[in-house]
A and B are shown apart, each in its own frame.
Chain A
Amino acid sequence: MALTADSAAAPPGATSAGTDPASRTAQDDPASLQVVPARHYARWAAAVAVIVLVAQFAHGLATNPVWEWSVFRDYFLSETIVQAVWVTLQLTAYATVLGFLLGTVLAFMRLSRSPVLRTVAWSYIWIFRSIPMIVQLVFWFNLSALYERLGVGIPFGPVFWSVDSNSLIGTIGAAVIGLTLHQAAYAAEIVRGGVIAVDHGQLEAAAALGIPRLRQIRRIVLPQAMRAILPTAGNEIIGLLKGTSVVYVMAIGELFYQVQVIYGRNGRVIPLLLVATAWYVLLTSLLSVAQYYVERRFARGADRTPPPTPLARARRFLAAQRLAATRPLTEKT
């Protein structure tokens, strides 16, 4: 308001002969005026309220004896728990790798020109997205009741080779199969979403250059699709990591099952649930960091100047600090 009032009083063209040019510039040039930042009272009040709530929660965590932090400390790195975490990680890794491999195949089947492949892929996705994972896992667990022996042969014809289904697929195997098949249905849609997000001109260019079909997919389409795939895939993998807790129904010694076994024995429910929680949070955090760097890698060429990694930024910050600390010394000498 003050600025417009000033300029209205002395419009740029109207220089009166009597005024001192130096004082004029000090008054009229906005660059030389003091800036008063806006005050956000409501924002500050909200911040205080939230900080109080967080502090209360932290206080509760630290002081409520029911959390039994000493029990948490005893179990967090105990051998049983670490082993159970390892099983959880293995289940996640197998189901991720196999699920996304199968999912990618299904995605390209759905995009294929063959109506048979398209229909089969569509039906697979429809079925496996419709069955709750826990139901499917129990199915696989009871596979031997459904099929006593598994064999290779001609449908409705002779069987050439067969094996007892329990000896072929153990409980871990059944869990991996269940998680994989479930995961593949979702992965297929994620991959398909990424592939159709790639500009059609890219495929035309690759085709016009005579690049072989598989190579087009691997070298041109998938790397670009990855940009759209990764954020959702990150979600899925994190979901899967936590989803492995469902296999406790098959009595597999993964994290959640093991925690339940221990608190069933000693009754320390809360601190042991806390152990599981802390591990899941830790593993999810690691996955999130990994996701950041993988996304960065596939963003190559997307930005004119790629942003620095947090690590590079931290290093630059430290270097600047060191420089600031040493400068007075070097100036003195």
Chain B
Amino acid sequence: MNDVMVDVHDVHKSFGPLEVLRGVDLKVRAGEVTVILGPSGSGKSTLLRTINHLEKVDRGWISVDGELIGYRRSGDKLHELKEKDVLKQRTDIGFVFQNFNLFPHLTVLDNLVEAPVSALRRPRGAAEENARRLLDRVGLADKADAYPRQLSGGQQQRVAIARALALEPKVLLFDEPTSALDPELVGEVLDVIKALARTGTTMIVVTHEIGFAREVADTVVFMDSGVVVEQGPPAAVLDDPGHARTRAFLSKVL
């Protein structure tokens, strides 16, 4: 059995009076692909954002590769980490946004080189070489000198994936990576993610693409109202859901 790469334990999170996460437990094994499904407002994006500490949790804890995220434990106390240390932890956790969030004023190559050079202190030459290799991998080797706005949405999202990979993270988080794309561009982004899955990258993907979940996921997690309703292999969760809520959701999206 593989080691646990991401361990989410009893995580709670509220925005004002709204309780978005109400005690979420989740274990993601190294090299596996976990797909999180659920209706909008079910807390899936928030859960993903707590894993790289873009959102601070109110209760519970999260660890990535055995390292507590956002806190340092000494004895029975949790010390909040300084921003500098949180930033350092994030270099192990790649994040791909729904809206790509590429830096529009930097070329594609500079988008990929920025974090390795400034956060990991890699020499620029090596970082550029690695960036070009990654662009080749997502099929955009010829776009290194283009600016993001000169690319299609699908191409921008592939650049964003390459940018996340440039830090050689231990785990990749995808927050609805195809939701902002025109239907005919969804395929090219999913193909890149599938190719990554085959290389044994640990990934957590929040998506509405059921077909993708069925094909790629090792584990499908269904969330509703801030809790994990059920999880298991895609065949079990998608074809023979045990809960009425899962069945109701699937009947709407399938």
Interface residues of chain A, those whose CB is within 8 Å of chain B, are 199, 201-202, 204-213, 215, 219-220, 223-224, 298, 300-304
Which of B114-122, B135-143, B216-224 contacts the other chain? B114-122
Question: Which 3 residue pairs across A and B have the least CB separation, nearest first?
Answer: A301-B147, A205-B101, A209-B115
Q: Is B123 an interface residue (CB 8 A)?
A: no
Q: How far is the CB of B189 from chain A (nearest CB, A)?
A: 17
Bound-state CA distance A220–B101 (Å) is: 11
SS of A interface (majority) = helix
Can you list 21 A-B contacts (CB < 8 A)? A201-B101, A202-B103, A205-B102, A207-B87, A208-B54, A208-B93, A209-B167, A210-B88, A210-B91, A210-B167, A212-B84, A212-B118, A212-B119, A213-B84, A215-B118, A219-B118, A301-B147, A301-B148, A302-B105, A302-B149, A304-B149
Tell yes or no: B83 within 8 A of A by CB: yes
CA distance A267 to B83 in the complex (A): 67
Question: Residue A210 contacts which of B87, B106, B149, B150 (CB distance < 8 angstroms)?
Answer: B87
**Which residues of B sit under 8 angstroms from A211, Cβ to Cβ?**
87, 114-115, 118-119
Which B78-93 residues sit within 8 Å CB-CB of chain A? 83-84, 87-91, 93
When distances are taken between beta carbons in the complex, the residues of chain A under 8 Å from B54 are 204, 207-208
Q: Decide if A209 touches B105 in the complex (CB within 8 Å).
A: no
Q: Tell me which residues across on chain A come within 8 A of B119, comparing CB atoms.
A: 209-212
Decide if B200 is an interface residue (CB 8 Å cutoff). Answer: no
With a cutoff of 8 Å between Cβ atoms, the chain B residues found around residue A298 in the complex are: 105
Which chain A residue lies CB-closest to B91? Answer: A210
Q: How far apart are B203's CB and chain A's nearest CB, in angstroms?
A: 15
Are A302's CB and B87's CB within 8 A?
no
B115 with A303: CB separation less than 8 A: no
User: Is B97 touching A213 in the complex (CB atoms < 8 A)?
Assistant: no
Give every chain A residue within 8 A of B101 (Cβ-Cβ).
199, 201-202, 204-205
Indicate which residue in A215, A219, A223, A303 contacts B149 across the interface (CB closer than 8 Å).
A303
Contact between B97 and A209 (Cβ–Cβ < 8 Å)? no
- Within the complex, the shortest CB–CB distance from B168 to chain A, in Å, comes to 12
